[in-house]
Amino acid sequence: MKIGFIGLGAMGFPMARHLASEHEVIVWNRTREKAERHSREHGTKLAGDIRDCANADAVLTMLPTSREVDEVVDLIAPALRKGMLFIDATSGDPNASRQTAARLAELGVDFVDAPVTGAIVGAENATLTIMIGGTSAAFERAKDILRLNGKTIIHVGEAGAGHAIKALTNSIMGATVWITAECMLVAKQYGIDMKTAFAVTNAGSGRSNASENLLPTRLVEGKWPLVFKLALHDKDIRIATSIAHQQHASTPMLALTSQLFTGALHELGDQADYIEVAKIVARMNGTEW
């Protein structure tokens, strides 16, 4: 199968590599050097123009937000052909993706939103969990391609449903990271050793990915890697908040989480990692980790 892949960032670069193990993959990236490197290292075909990616059976986008996806769709729509499949793996906005699905349907192109979870390590090891919105037929087509990227591929509902659950589940993670950092700070101030505090938490009901993996790396080992931009996490929580607003839902925890993350983003800047919100938790208490 021929696949056009657009967006070779932290997630897209390894995802396109796995697809190339079985398919002919044509790559395009805004910063061309990355696409050149991908082509050189993984035998993918370098697109001369972004529209070359439409000369394929399927197009896959892995971009920051739905805004960039819309820009890409504007550019390549004239080159898309009836019967093609468009997979948007971006963690996008379900309202935007529903519109994109309708727009592409007019061209006879199937659309699925297929955001992923599992971080860069999951993209590298092809162990992502992938949540898909779209028709059952489009889901089956997308699944047959994305099985090279993930172990768990779930059909969530119609177009937009994948993006909706992705934003909601990342919001759960955001709130969990924040409250865990707060409680760990209090434990530290109380004089409890951080390693011990995590050991107890992880042996009990406070356990989460934040307490088992994300925070110990930073607060015990003192390593603060950039694995997922805070700007992207903030975007996910804002999407969740807007969905809640549309449903007229009462979600004070979600609203608070969104406010905290947006404040942290303004404080830490565009290039910060999402777990650096723990630094803000400490600063709010006049201290550092």
194 Cβ neighbours under 8 A, 6+ residues apart? 184, 187, 188, 216, 219, 220
Asked if 231 touches ligand NDP (CB under 6 A), the answer is no
Both tokens of 148, joined, read: 């090279």
| Member of 39, 44, 90, 241 binding ligand NDP (CB under 6 A) | 90
Burial (0-12, 13-18, 19+ Cβ within 10 Å), 58: buried
Q: How far is the CB of 33 from ligand NDP (least distance, A)?
A: 9
Tell me the residue nearest to ligand NDP as measured from the CB. Answer: 9
DSSP state at residue 133: E
- Contact segment (CB under 6 A) with ligand NDP among 40-48, 57-65, 213-221, 263-271 equals 57-65
Helix (H) or strand (E) holding 26: strand 24-28
Distance CA 115, CA 88 (A): 7
Asked if 215 touches ligand NDP (CB under 6 A), the answer is no
- Contact segment (CB under 6 A) with ligand NDP among 39-47, 117-125, 194-202, 258-266 equals 117-125
Q: Between residues 111 and 228, which has the closer beta carbon with respect to ligand NDP?
A: 228
Torsion angle of the four alpha carbons 288, 186, 229, 223, in this order, in degrees rounded to the nearest 10: 60
| Member of 116, 164, 215, 237 binding ligand NDP (CB under 6 A) | 116
Q: Beta strand 45-46 with 2-6: parallel, antiparallel or unpaired?
A: unpaired
Asked if 200 touches ligand NDP (CB under 6 A), the answer is no
Binding-residue total with ligand NDP (CB under 6 A): 24
Q: Summarize as ranges the residues that interact with ligand NDP (CB under 6 A).
A: 7-12, 29-31, 34, 62-64, 68, 71, 90-91, 116-117, 119-120, 227-228, 232
